Amino acid sequence: MTAQLTKRRKTKPKEMAVITDCCTGCAGSPVCQTLCPVENCMQLIHDDEHSPFGYIWVDPLKCIGCKKCIAKGDMGIFLEGCPWDAIKMTPLERVEQMYGKLEF
Ligand code: SF4
Ligand code: SF4
DSSP codes, 37-52: -STTSEEEE--GGGTT
Is the predicted pLDDT of residue 45 greater than 80, yes or no?
A: yes
Query: What is the value of pTM for the model shown?
Result: 0.87
Distance 26 CA to ligand 2 centre (A): 5
Range of the domain at 16: 12-98
Cβ < 6 Å from ligand 1: which residues?
Answer: 16-17, 35-36, 38, 41-42, 58, 63-69
Answer whether residue 7 is part of any domain: no
Lowest-confidence pick of 7-11, 29-33, 65-69: 7-11
Q: In the chain, how many domains are there?
A: 1
Residues 36-60 have a mean pLDDT of 91
- Res 47: pLDDT: 80
- Res 2: pLDDT: 44
Which of 56, 59, 72, 78 has most ligand 2 atoms within 8 Å of CB, for mutation?
A: 56
Answer whether residue 75 is part of any domain: yes
Share the mean pLDDT of the chain.
86
Answer whether residue 89 is part of any domain: yes
